[in-house]
């Protein structure tokens, strides 16, 4: 039971960050749900006790408790720790006000960027300010703006500037070059931008979504000009919408090249991205929840049609 209330606390904490009124609504729904798990004898019209209704041997509390595996990761910021990917403490973990980055010193790319996108943070906000800059915390390992000059590649955002427009500091930090990877211009300004727009649209519908974005590096890892910065062969985006049943997951894999057509053609189960990258995005998931959220896609939930 203690583990159950731990999971409840984590869910309510996520709900609180998504908005105070939604937080209170989730509290009320959860109270009703747990209360209904307790069966009480009911008297019939003659005042006699009706026989108890047969129920499952597994209560909703126990069922929720089995969805998540408790993890002890004190090196992660509390807000991100619940749904952060598997990561070693000795990796370059860079915490910003509005997102978290695991940086790879060999490829000079982020392995992943994680943030929570919510409806209340979208809309008119801070004006985009395109001043790319080095990350002083990692010194010489940081990509440089000069690395891109004359290469024909764009500085492609991983956590988009448009997702960070709700605060000056978030917009400012989104232009650190640790949050950027080399992208083909037609890709960055075309299909990738359309995917980012779609994620914002679906977030308005679903209220809030955890987003993970990063590069897919090939075995040859070509470098950008004379720099040590690897050029990705593709990019991924992983989405997770938690709820009391475990939630829904979706991923996209897009080649770093000009693309056309419906973004749905690039949609994949999360497990395919994990196979390509070697990452474990949600180590907190139990095997059963992982099989449902990471190996399956609920097309109707995400796209409205099978």
Tell which residue, 298, 84, 76, has the closest CA to residue 211.
Answer: 84
| Spatial distance between the Cα atoms of 207 and 148, rounded to a whole number of angstroms | 36
DSSP string, 225-242: TTSSPBPPSEEEEEEEE-
Active site residue 103: no
Q: Residue 195 CA to chain centroid, in angstroms?
A: 14
* Sign of the alpha-carbon dihedral angle for 192, 198, 204, 209: negative
Beta bridge partners of 253: 236
108, 157, 237, 241: the catalytic one is 157
| Spatial distance between the Cα atoms of 230 and 220, rounded to a whole number of angstroms | 9
| Spatial distance between the Cα atoms of 161 and 167, rounded to a whole number of angstroms | 11
**Catalytic residue ranges:** 157
């Amino acid at each position: 039971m203690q583990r159950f209330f731990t999971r409840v606390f984590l869910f309510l904490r996520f709900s609180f960050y998504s908005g105070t009124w939604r937080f209170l609504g989730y509290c009320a729904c959860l109270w009703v749900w747990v209360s209904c798990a307790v069966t009480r004898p009911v008297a019939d019209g003659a005042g006699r006790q009706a026989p108890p209704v047969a129920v499952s041997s597994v209560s909703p509390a126990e069922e929720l408790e089995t969805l998540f595996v408790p993890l002890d990761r004190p090196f992660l910021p509390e807000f991100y720790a619940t749904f952060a990917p598997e990561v070693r403490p000795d990796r370059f973990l860079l915490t910003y006000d509005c997102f978290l980055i695991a940086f790879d010193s060999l490829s000079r790319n982020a392995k992943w960027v994680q943030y929570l996108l919510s409806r209340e943070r979208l809309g008119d906000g801070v004006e985009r300010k395109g001043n790319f800059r080095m990350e002083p915390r990692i010194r010489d390992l940081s990509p440089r703006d000069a690395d891109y000059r004359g290469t024909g590649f764009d500085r492609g955002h991983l956590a988009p500037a448009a997702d960070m427009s709700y605060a000056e500091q978030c917009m400012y930090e989104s232009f650190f070059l640790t949050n950027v990877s080399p992208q083909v211009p037609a890709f960055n300004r075309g299909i990738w931008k359309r995917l980012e727009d779609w994620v914002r649209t679906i977030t308005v519908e679903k209220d809030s979504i955890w987003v993970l974005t990063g590069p897919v590096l090939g075995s040859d890892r070509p470098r950008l000009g004379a720099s040590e910065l690897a050029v990705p062969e593709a990019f991924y985006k992983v989405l997770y919408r938690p709820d009391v049943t475990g939630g829904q997951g979706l991923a996209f894999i897009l080649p770093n090249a000009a693309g056309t057509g419906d973004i749905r053609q690039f949609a994949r189960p999360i497990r395919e991205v994990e196979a390509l990258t070697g990452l474990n995005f949600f180590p907190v998931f139990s095997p059963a929840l992982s099989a449902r959220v990471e190996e399956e896609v609920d097309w109707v939930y995400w796209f409205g049609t099978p």
